[in-house]
Amino acid sequence: MAALAVATVLLPLVAGCGGGHDASDPGAKDTKATAGQQGGSKSADQGSGAFPDRGVIVTAWCSVPASKPASVTVTGWDPATWERAVSRTFTVPAEAVVAEADDVASPLVELCADNFPGVSTSEDGPRAVASTRLRQLFDKDFSRMAVVLIDRETEATGVGYVDTSGKLTKLSGAPSEDFGDTPKEENAVFAQNGSAVWFTETDSSDHVRIASRSVAGDHAATEQGGGDGSYMDGAGLALAGDPVRGLFGKEVRISPDGRKATAFITWRGFNVADVPQRGALLKAGGVKATGIPYDADCYPYGWVDDQTVLCGARLGKAEDPKRKNSFWTLDTSRLDGKADSPKGALGDPIIPATDRKNTVRAISPDGKQMIFASLQGTRTEFFTSAIASGATPKKIAARGADRALSSGDVLEWR
């Protein structure tokens, strides 16, 4: 019954004839809904201002104008009509790290990299569905955004958050005047209940600690774990479980129940790790992890349930011709640490093999449906498909979907 219900909701996505690429600005405000408002000054919300807790696909993108502060716009789209349900804009403080040139790790840098309204796709198509840490830039209802702050003179970094009114709250104190290492707090993400901002801090010996600071105003830091951060370039912080644990690793995606995570581990490739009782670094020898067998050829796009991962080709080109530019599932509960995939662990191709470049953009909250981008030459189209072997993709005809899905990151389908 659940699968039937999802299919019914998605029918309006594919009705009618397909249209061409809609290059309109996805960040453009609905003038009827936002008249008299300016991004960041008031919440720039539409409707009641409450962010729906279900029935929306949430996207985020950056705007970095030359003469104005950078901003991040988060929008919830109705997947039945592809109209905006709600939209919020965060003004990025001048002292926040937003560009790679600062050489400071922050999910905001990843979100804003080549990710502006009007920029549709690269030669590889739109970005894949966002990793966990990008979603966790924001609290559950997208009312606050975590930021990493930098002192341009000393290059000391700390953490804080900004709300939709433009108010910045700093959670790190001023750098100590004692002779010592320059504070280096990075990778700021929000606990989903909004209680704390989590971050990493790295010392001159490459030791990484995972910690949090309450937003209640006491500025107390709680350390949870860490370790030697050597060979962790490109890693980021993601939160899992209840109580929350911080996982520092590369391309981390947390399972729905918070008990497992996929991550890329240097020298070991993609792995499935059990979430430990305390924060930890996802690296060789750091946590209990099982390697994804090479013959599974799996780049993990995300989880469809607590045990099953949705895969695409690990290096962009599938070894098996039947899987060319397709997707498939991997049952991680069957993995046994051996070189070959256990019997029954690897699902058959979901969509037919094709020469198009296909990228998963969103996975439904029940794990039964996906939306993917399909790049053919320079034209990008969007399709919906059941996450089941031998499914038939259906083109999304609504022009609003093209506007919503062409730019930025898809943070969540809730």
Instruction: Give the other-Cβ count within 10 Å of 291's Cβ.
Output: 16
What is the C-alpha separation between 306 and 345, in angstroms, rounded? 14
pLDDT of residue 223: 75
Helix (H, G, I), strand (E, B) or coil at 96: strand
Instruction: Give the other-Cβ count within 10 Å of 181's Cβ.
Output: 13
Residue 310 belongs to some domain of the structure: yes
pLDDT of residue 132: 97
Residue 133 belongs to some domain of the structure: yes
Residue 252 belongs to some domain of the structure: yes
Q: Which two tokens stand for residue 331?
A: 């049952």
Residue 2 belongs to some domain of the structure: no
Residue 278 belongs to some domain of the structure: yes
pLDDT of residue 113: 84
Is residue 219 left, alpha or beta, with left meaning phi > 0 and alpha meaning psi from -120 to 50?
Answer: left
pLDDT of residue 204: 85
Residue 175 belongs to some domain of the structure: yes
Q: Flag residues of the chain having pLDDT under 70.
A: 1-49, 114-125, 175-177, 218-221
Helix (H, G, I), strand (E, B) or coil at 399: helix
Q: Which CATH number belongs to the domain containing residue 231 in this structure?
A: 2.130.10
Number of H helices, E strands in the chain: 5, 24
* CA distances (Å), origin 293, targets 92, 270, 271, 324, 330: 42, 9, 9, 18, 10
Please provide residue 344's backbone torsions phi and psi, each rounded to the nearest 5 degrees.
Answer: 85, -5
Identify the residue whose tokens are 């979907």: 401
What is the C-alpha separation between 99 and 109, in angstroms, rounded? 5
Q: Which two tokens stand for residue 284?
A: 């060789």
pTM beyond 0.95: no
pLDDT of residue 220: 66
The one-letter amino acid code at 67 reads: S
pLDDT of residue 44: 40
Residue 30 belongs to some domain of the structure: no
What is the C-alpha separation between 345 and 295, in angstroms, rounded? 11
Containing structural domain, residue 398: 39-413
pLDDT of residue 114: 66
**What are the pLDDT digits (tens) for 195-245?**
999 999 998 888 999 999 999 876 666 777 788 888 888 999 999 999 999
pLDDT of residue 45: 42
pLDDT of residue 129: 94
Helix boundaries (H) for 233-349: none
**Residue of 91, 78, 14 whose CA lies nearest to 47:** 78
Q: What's the structural domain count of the chain?
A: 1
pLDDT of residue 27: 44
**What are the pLDDT digits (tens) for 45-74?**
443 468 999 999 999 999 888 778 999 999
Residue 388 belongs to some domain of the structure: yes
